[in-house]
Chains A and B, each alone.
Chain A
Amino acid sequence: MQLLAKLLKALNSDDSPWQLAFGVMLGMIMGLTPFIGLHSVLILFIVLFLRVNLSTFLLAYALFSGFTLLLNPMMADIGESLLTSTDLTGLWTSLYNSTFGQLTQFYHTLTLGSLLFSLILAPFILVISKILVVQYRVRFMQWINKLKIVQFLKGSRIYQIYQTLGE
């Protein structure tokens, strides 16, 4: 209920479709990768410092965290094959010896694999999210707002609180 109210609030807000789409994309990266790591700090910084929609970010984070149960072995395999590739040993070794490399923890198979996987997925998620937001606002927003369940939600205290916070 709370998540649905958040989503409705974001979709119905004046935020640009790109702000919402970036929220989904960054939430996806944060959700698929391990929580502890330099990349998480960087994503948090971008989300807070730039005007990325926080609601879609949190929603996407929760949603994609659930997908890791299925995707983790595959993403760890990607990291494993990259880190054990003899062609890349030189690159990894120099990165490993740098403070930056140590802080990124790239030498953890799941961290590298999931980060790479989510970065490859990122532009697609960004564009698809943007299109979906636009299409929603043009085609479905009015119809959805008329639904009884949505009206009930909008009348709920939680939605009112979100509304107040957003103003």
Chain B
Amino acid sequence: MQKLIRWPGLIAFFVITGLIAAIAILFLDFWIKLAAEKSLESTTGAEVNIAQVTHTFSPFGITLSDIQLTDPAMPTQNQVQAQEITAQIELAPLLLRKIIIDDLTVSGVQFAQLRESEGAVYRTATTAIKEELQEAFDPKNLPSVDEILAKSPLKTTKAIEQTQSAYQKHSEILKSKYAELPSKDALENYKKRVAAITNTDYKNPLELAKAKEEFDTLREEISRDKAKLTEFKDAANAAKSEMAPTLAKLKSAPGEDYAQLQGLIAGDEGAIKDVTTMIFGEKAGEFSQYVLGAYDLAAPMLNKSKEELVEEQAYNGRWIAFDDTAALPDFLVRNADISVKWQSESILSVWHDITNQHDKIGRPTTFKVDSSASALWQSLKLNGDFWLNDTGVKANQDWNLRGLALSDVSLLEQEKLSSKLLKGLLSSSGKASINKNVVSGTGNAALSQLQLTATGSNNLTSVIAETLSGLSNLTINSDIGGTLGDINLSFSSDLDKQLATAMLSNLTGDQNSKLAELKQKLNAKIEGPLGATDSEMSQWLDWEKLADGDLSSMQSMLDSKLNSVVENKKNELTDKLKDKLKGKFFN
């Protein structure tokens, strides 16, 4: 037995296992920190810093302090940062590779805060909006008339296509029906045959009966040709009724296009048509980060489940669950309190059932913000839920913000245009929903008691600045679209129209000549199709007149001539009968 056992080996075993356990416990905080940073960095695509991680064993929990997620689009600031995250984690499910957090507390969440040093970016950010704005405000970048015509979806082009298509359709039908119509000779022949039958003096009823039979055959022939004439007339009427509004549209299209495109000559498509987005879009985008922030949480969770799937496909084995604990998702936060810091106020949101596998728990993640009056707003309410599964995300959200006091908000700081909101009150409400990752929704933001200041450095931006400075109220409507993780917001208001009008009254000589060129080119576009269609239309009308004449002459042939013959004969026979009867009775 002694030969089999190695007693020092037993000591070595305990020393090795004890060392492994000690190292694991000693470096647990470091490993958690490393894992959390790497995992978040792969999700956000930019540097993530966690200052400190601590843990407790009973109950098992971890605390992360000073978490900073670099904004990949602007590495000098954090996309989001939190003062502290505390999580109480269930130990037993950890053996099943399931992270079940009973209570999660996130405090001091702030968006868009400056970093102490620039963070590293691992994935390239999308094109900076500011560069686009610079180009939009530069009058040198005005497009040529041909470029505008080529890029713009013109009503004129569409009207030409519609006219040509309608004309082609009816032209073929009318031509084929016109070819089937009886010729002039055929009509003359009918007239002659009818006259021959009706002008003959029939001596006896037998002859009359034969003539009647002949006339019926003739009548059938005439009726068949008459039907062809009627069909042609109907087709001509249908063509006229469709072509008339189409031609009217074609005639009015250049004018409408001109009205729409003149704004492009006056400034730039973006600068005039989308000024609301340009001036208010950046700040509204930041505001929407708060309102639609829940979806930013949902998007990486969806990616996470996809990544896990890829990992499984790599075939390093997978974990299979067998009993009712299988109902537990891989990641679940039962209750969470997330406190977002905004200016001097703290907004507390309460979350339940945060997970990426809602099918397993059978209920959605819900979140709620119900903040009463504060120094900054009168009321703020936000409710929402989301459900993630294999088909994507299904989510609903609504918000209602009343009387948010705004002051000294820099809206735009560009070389050619800068604007600042000195004072104002913001109220906003809206709804957004997601179905199979497609985001849709609407919202509105009413700005009242506005005091704006703006400065422009050229003709175009000066007009914009002047219009902005005169604003006291403004309602901005927003459309929410796009997909999860890439939410698009578009803004509109009557400010766009006001600016377009102001812009057109301040045109330069070059812009005026471009406008004239635009008008001329638009009109030239319809000249060809309009002329060709007009001449064809007049031919159709001629055909229709001819058909009308033929139709009435045929009808008269059919109706009056035969009746008079029969009537005359009838009267003649009646008279003869009367004479015979008179002779019998009075002789």
Contact = CB atoms under 8 A, between A and B. Distances in A.
A117 to B, nearest CB: 12
A17 B356 CA distance: 55
A15 to B, nearest CB: 11
A49 B317 contact: no
A113 B17 contact: no
A45 B13 contact: yes
Interface stretch (A59-67, A92-100, A128-136, A155-163): A92-100
A76 to B, nearest CB: 5
Interface string A97-111: 100001101011111
Contact of B5 (A51, A79, A96): A51
A83 B13 CA distance: 32
A92 B13 CA distance: 31
B206 interface: no
Contact of A93 (B13, B315, B323): B323
Contacts of A107: 319-322
Given A51-B4, A51-B5, A92 B317 contact: no
B5 A76 contact: no
A120 interface: no
Contacts of A72: 315-317
A73 B318 CA distance: 11
Nearest to B15: A48
B584 interface: no
B13 A49 contact: yes
B524 interface: no
A80 B316 CA distance: 11
A48 B9 contact: yes
Interface in A33-59: 34, 41, 44-45, 47-51
Nearest to A114: B317
How large, as a class, is the contact surface on chain A? 20 to 34
B319 A49 contact: no
B327 interface: no
A51 B452 CA distance: 87
Contacts of A111: 317
Contacts of B320: 83-84, 107-109
Contact of B318 (A49, A96, A105, A109): A109
Nearest to A50: B4
Interface string B1-32: 00111100110110011000000000000000
A108 B13 contact: no
A92 B16 contact: no
A13 interface: no
Contact of A41 (B6, B17, B95, B317): B17
Contacts of B10: 48-49
A102 B322 CA distance: 11
Contacts of A97: 322-323
Nearest to B7: A49
Nearest to B16: A44
A12 interface: no
Nearest to A92: B322
Given A50-B4, A93-B322, A76 B13 contact: no
Contacts of A145: none
B12 A110 contact: no
A93 B13 CA distance: 32
A109 B4 CA distance: 34
Contacts of A48: 6, 9-10, 12-13, 16
A73 B13 CA distance: 32
Contacts of A142: none
Query: Which one of A49, A108, A110 has the highest number of Cβ atoms from chain B below 10 Å of its Cβ?
Result: A49
B6 A96 contact: no
A113 B315 CA distance: 12
A151 interface: no
Contacts of B17: 41, 44
Interface string B69-112: 00000000000000000000000000110000000000000000
Nearest to B319: A108
Nearest to A48: B9
A131 to B, nearest CB: 22
Contacts of B96: 102
A86 to B, nearest CB: 12
A50 B5 contact: yes
Contact of B6 (A34, A51, A80): A51
Given A50-B4, A50-B5, A110 B316 contact: yes
Nearest to A79: B317
B317 A110 contact: yes
A101 B320 CA distance: 13
Nearest to A90: B322
Nearest to A77: B315
Nearest to B17: A41
A44 B17 CA distance: 9
A164 B318 CA distance: 46
A50 B9 contact: yes
A47 to B, nearest CB: 8
A44 B322 contact: no
Given A72-B316, A76-B315, A108-B319, A102 B95 contact: yes
A80 B312 CA distance: 12
Contacts of B5: 49-51
A153 B403 CA distance: 86
A89 B322 CA distance: 8
B14 to A, nearest CB: 9
Given A48-B12, A113-B317, 13 more contacts: A44-B16, A48-B16, A49-B5, A49-B9, A49-B13, A50-B5, A51-B3, A51-B6, A72-B316, A76-B317, A96-B323, A108-B317, A110-B317
11 contacts: A48-B6, A49-B10, A50-B9, A51-B4, A76-B317, A96-B323, A97-B322, A103-B95, A107-B319, A107-B320, A108-B319
The 8 closest A-B pairs by CB, nearest first: A110-B317, A48-B9, A96-B322, A48-B13, A109-B317, A93-B322, A76-B317, A73-B315
